[in-house]
Amino acid sequence: MTVLSNTSATPVRAAYSESAPVALVRHTAVQTQRLLLRWSRNPVALLETLIIPCLLLFMLDIVIGSQIEKFVGSNALYGSVPMVAIIGALSGAVAGGVMLGRERDAGLLARFWVLPVHRASGLLSRILAEGFRILLGTLAVVFVGYLLGFRFQQGFAAAVLFIAIPVFFGLAFATMVTAIAVFSAKATLVEGVMILSSLLMFFSTGFVPLAAYPEWIQPVVRNQPLSVAVDAMKALSLGGPLAHPLRMTALWSAGAIVVFAVPAVIGYRRASRR
């Protein structure tokens, strides 16, 4: 009877071991909830994700919205709403990277590593939490844009894809930020990524129309990651050419994930073992 009892108990113990698929689901859900709760209680994360992007959209519409509308003949919100939604995703990723660095320095990642927790749940939970944060920030920006006059004119399916682009683009950027955060100091992360996001914003077709830039820099502005994402989202909301900007957005995002995913995983494992 003892042998039968031990034999029957083995599958039960295996099913609930830290490396079992059911453990991955449970541990990822718990850690995702932990991250979302922590971000919701962090004033900087809330500012970067919700408040600052909405204020930026409002400011752009007041300051340069009417001039851009006269120049292109359509509401400037169809360029500024996509741009601000993506910039909000990038800024929130920086805040998430800073918090990851703090957890690394405080030894929290190392504590999770020695607990009976599925090894993949830590990084997977951050991906899910980032996706939810970007989705929430995008919806907030779209809501403010709707109050200012932004409308979806291409149907429900196009609107869903419009919302999905900042999530995919932001997750690709968050992969890069994670790879940097686990290898560098917080100051380097913030300064470097904020400079990059500022350059992307000011030299994009979402800030001002392409024709407003000097001819020698227009090819760079037209094909840089933020511009192609903005052009794809503008086509999905207002209309216009979609295939090329959507294809370029997918290539830029997938390329960032391919390049930075392995360093992010290696760096996260290395930081967790300290």
pLDDT 10s digits, 206-257: 888 888 899 999 999 999 999 999 999 999 999 888 999 999 999 999 999 9
Single-letter amino acid, residue 245: P
Pick from 66-70, 103-107, 234-238, 252-256: least confident: 103-107
Mean pLDDT of 173-194: 74
- Residue 188's pLDDT band, with cuts at 50, 70 and 90, is low
CA pseudo-torsion sign 127, 97, 141, 209: negative
CA–CA separation, 248 vs 17, rounded Å?
43
Q: Which residues contact 130 (CB under 8 A, 6 or more apart)?
A: 92, 93, 96, 170, 171, 174
| Structure confidence by residue, pLDDT tens digits, 131-178 | 898 999 999 999 999 999 999 999 899 999 999 999 999 899 888 888
CA–CA separation, 171 vs 151, rounded Å?
25
CA–CA separation, 153 vs 223, rounded Å?
25
Pick from 89-103, 127-141, 195-209: least confident: 89-103
Q: Average per-residue pLDDT in the chain?
A: 83
Determine what percent of the chain is predicted with pLDDT higher than 70: 90
Q: Structure pTM?
A: 0.85
- In order, the DSSP letters of 146-187 are HHHT----S-HHHHHHHHHHHHHHHHHHHHHHHHHHTTS-HH
Compute the residue count for the chain. 274
Quick one: 95 exposed, middle or buried, by C-beta within 10 A (0-12, 13-18, 19+)?
Answer: buried
Angle at 162 between CA 158 and CA 167, to 5 degrees: 140
Mean pLDDT of 7-16: 48
More confident residue, 75 or 183: 75
- In order, the DSSP letters of 221-232 are HHHSHHHHHHHH
Find the domain containing 200 and state its range: 2-272
What is the predicted pLDDT for the residue at 211? 86
- Residue 186's pLDDT band, with cuts at 50, 70 and 90, is low
Q: Which of 147, 142, 144, 148 is nearest to 76 (CA)?
A: 148
Distance of CA 82 to the CA centre of its chain: 13
End-to-end CA distance of the chain: 45
What is the predicted pLDDT for the residue at 187? 58
- Is the pLDDT at 60 greater than 70? The verdict is yes
Determine what percent of the chain is predicted with pLDDT higher than 90: 31
CA–CA separation, 83 vs 138, rounded Å?
10
The structural domain count of the chain equals: 1
Q: Could you give the residue ranges of the DSSP H alpha helices within the chain?
A: 2-15, 21-40, 43-46, 52-63, 65-72, 77-106, 108-114, 121-148, 156-181, 186-202, 218-223, 225-237, 243-272
